[in-house]
Every structure is written in structure tokens, then in C-alpha cells.
């Protein structure tokens, strides 16, 4: 399997940069920072692979895109406006873990993704919504079959 660096080196993209955890790249008024993404008790994404999620900053807005990860110590310290979190439980967080992280960090908005891959996606989504709603979190989510419709749960 090729590393990210090897894959990127084969592209024709100019000004390429491979990020490591906590390294940043800036372009105009956007900053992108690499952020650790790994599994704790699963074999899929070991910490030593140095795989990443990202924190994107534009003006004063911070967006965390988790990548395939669990609730890791580094993420528990985040103070961001928006979290984009994969839910699935195999290579990513479970619905309960997503709710745990959101309730710990209290972002302005949480956007669960990948939950359509879950066999009982609707049931899982309702559990997440209920847990987050009880803790006064705002949650954006997309219905898989109606991606153009985005609902805000207040």
C-alpha cells in the first residue's frame, strides 16, 4: 500500500504539501491543520500510521473534520465551532461515542456523517439526535436519500 506522501508525489498538483499531526498549511484566509485520527481498541487505523483528520480555520470559524477515528484524547480538548464526525462503529465512532465527544467539547454545531452505512441507520440517527438534543446541542444532518435537504435540529 502506498503512503499518502507517495500518492501525492505522483500527482501533477503544484505546491503540494503532506501534513503531519498539528502541522498547518495556509492559503489566502484559510488555514488547514492536520489532526490525529486513529482507533484506540480497533486494528483498522493504528496511531503509528499517523493518519489525519483536519481542522480548517476561516476567519474566526474552526471546523473539525474527524476522519476515521475514535474518541481520542486529543479530540477531547477541542474548542471548535463545527464538528464533522463519522458514525459507524467499525472504523469510526459509535453513535454513543459521537454524542460523548460532542457533549464533552460543546461545538456550536455537530454534523454526523457515514451513518448511512449502518444497517439500522435511522434508529442510530434518532439516538444521536435525542442524546444531543437533551444536551442542547445544535445538529445538522443530511438524509441520505434526500441529500439536498438539510435539517437543523434546535
Structural domain includes residue 4: no
Structural domain includes residue 109: yes
Beta strands in the chain (DSSP E): 24-27, 30-36, 52-58, 61-65, 82-86, 109-113, 138-143, 146-153
3-class DSSP state of 88: coil
Q: For the domain that residue 108 is a member of, what is the CATH number?
A: 3.60.15.10
Residue 30: per-residue pLDDT: 94
3-class DSSP state of 54: strand
Whole domain around residue 43: which residue ranges? 24-153
Structural domain includes residue 98: yes
Q: Using an 8 Å Cβ cutoff, are 17 and 3 in contact?
A: no
Give me 102's grid cell. Answer: 460532542
Structural domain includes residue 69: yes
Select from 143, 117, 105, 112 the least CA-distant residue to 128. 112
Longest dimension (CA), the chain: 49
Structural domain includes residue 8: no
pTM of the model: 0.76
Number of folded domains in the chain? 1
Structural domain includes residue 58: yes
CB neighbour burial string for 50-70, b if at least 16 within 10 angstroms, e if fewer: ebbbbbbbeeeebbbbbbbbb
Structural domain includes residue 15: no
Structural domain includes residue 79: yes
Residue-wise pLDDT tens for the chain (154 aa)?
A: 677 778 888 888 887 888 999 999 998 899 999 999 999 989 999 999 899 999 999 999 999 999 999 999 999 999 999 999 988 778 889 878 888 898 899 898 888 887 654 545 555 556 666 555 444 445 544 433 333 333 333 3
Q: In what order do the strands lie in the sheet with 138-143?
A: 24-27, 30-36, 52-58, 61-65, 82-86, 109-113, 138-143, 146-153
Residue 26: per-residue pLDDT: 93
Amino acid at each position: 500500500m502506498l503512503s499518502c506522501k507517495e500518492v501525492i508525489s505522483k500527482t501533477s498538483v503544484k505546491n503540494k504539501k503532506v501534513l503531519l499531526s498539528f502541522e498547518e498549511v495556509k492559503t489566502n484566509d484559510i488555514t488547514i491543520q492536520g489532526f490525529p485520527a486513529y482507533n484506540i481498541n480497533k486494528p483498522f487505523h493504528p496511531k503509528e500510521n499517523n493518519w489525519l483528520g483536519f481542522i480548517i480555520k476561516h476567519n474566526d470559524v474552526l471546523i473539525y473534520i474527524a476522519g476515521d477515528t475514535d474518541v481520542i484524547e486529543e479530540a477531547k480538548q477541542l474548542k471548535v465551532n463545527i464538528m464533522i464526525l463519522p458514525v459507524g462503529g467499525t472504523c469510526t465512532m459509535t453513535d454513543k461515542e459521537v454524542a460523548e465527544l460532542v457533549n464533552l467539547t460543546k461545538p456550536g454545531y455537530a454534523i454526523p456523517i457515514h451513518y448511512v452505512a449502518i444497517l439500522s441507520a435511522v434508529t442510530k440517527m434518532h439516538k444521536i439526535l435525542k442524546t444531543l438534543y437533551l444536551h442542547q446541542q445544535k445538529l445538522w444532518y443530511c438524509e441520505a436519500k434526500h441529500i439536498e435537504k438539510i435539517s437543523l435540529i434546535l
